[in-house]
Amino acid sequence: MTAVFRKLCRDDMTEAASVHRTSFDERLPWLAQLHTPEEDRGYWRGHLFATCDSTAGPHSQACIALRYTIRCAMIVSFRHKGLEAFYRSGTTKGIRAAHAAKLARILGLLDVAVGPEDLNLPGFKLHLLKGNLKGHWSIWVNGNWRVTFRFVCPDVELVDYQDYH
């Protein structure tokens, strides 16, 4: 049997977002329920449909293929090994377990942000750093703990988890 693919249109966005959410939850269970279905649809509308050619087979629940026309934003490097392990496997070894939920939200947003404006959210206290960390951004986690990083648009690099005060 030969699979015939067709280009997805905006009417397919809800189903595509649902398939994306299911595969995301299966592959990265520690980040499950990070976004609402409306946020997933917004991601598909604002990022994937805007920057990719999206195609699906006869049963789009079975297969969605994306052919990127431009590279999507992502975290490309970490400074903190514990934070990187948490991002990749969900282990809290190397980070404060009490910070895990907030760190999951921060990392999830860093992975799709294309600029600082995407991260200027209430409770994050986003700000540009000076001095030794000039050019880096900081997001408040708890107390003196921060996630610091640098944008090399559209990517994020040198993601660190530190008490720099």
User: Token pair for residue 83?
Assistant: 């934070």
Q: Which residue has the higher pLDDT, 69 or 97?
A: 97
Pair (147, 86) in one structural domain? yes
Domain end: 24, 47, 68, which one?
Answer: 68
Q: Which residue has the higher pLDDT, 3 or 29?
A: 29
Domain count, the chain: 2
Q: Which residue has the higher pLDDT, 35 or 59?
A: 35
Global pTM value: 0.59
Pair (16, 63) in one structural domain? yes
Q: What is the pLDDT of residue 71?
A: 45
Q: What is the pLDDT of residue 69?
A: 38
Pair (17, 48) in one structural domain? yes
* pLDDT value at 159 more than 70: yes
Q: How confident is the model at residue 8 (pLDDT cuts 50, 70, 90)?
A: low
Pair (86, 21) in one structural domain? no
Please report whether residue 73 resides in a domain: no
Domain end: 15, 36, 68, which one?
Answer: 68
Pair (101, 147) in one structural domain? yes
Pair (86, 139) in one structural domain? yes
Q: What is the pLDDT of residue 118?
A: 86
How far is residue 63's CA from residue 16's CA, in Å, rounded to a whole number? 10
Domain end: 47, 68, 89, which one?
Answer: 68
Please report whether residue 64 resides in a domain: yes
Compute the average pLDDT of residues 98-121.
90
Q: What is the pLDDT of residue 117?
A: 86
Pair (62, 94) in one structural domain? no
Pair (63, 91) in one structural domain? no
Residues marked active site are found at: 165
Please report whether residue 1 resides in a domain: no
**Residue 17 is part of which domain span?**
6-68
Pair (92, 148) in one structural domain? yes
Alpha carbon separation from 18 to 22, 51, 92, 146 (Å, rounded): 6, 19, 28, 32
* pLDDT value at 28 more than 90: no
pLDDT digits (tens, 9 = 90+) for 36-65: 777 776 776 666 666 555 555 555 444 454
Please report whether residue 149 resides in a domain: yes
| 7: Cβ contacts below 8 Å, ≥ 6 apart | 53, 54, 55
Pair (97, 50) in one structural domain? no
How far is residue 94's CA from residue 58's CA, in Å, rounded to a whole number? 45
Pair (24, 57) in one structural domain? yes
Please report whether residue 76 resides in a domain: no
Q: What is the pLDDT of residue 144?
A: 94
Pair (87, 159) in one structural domain? yes
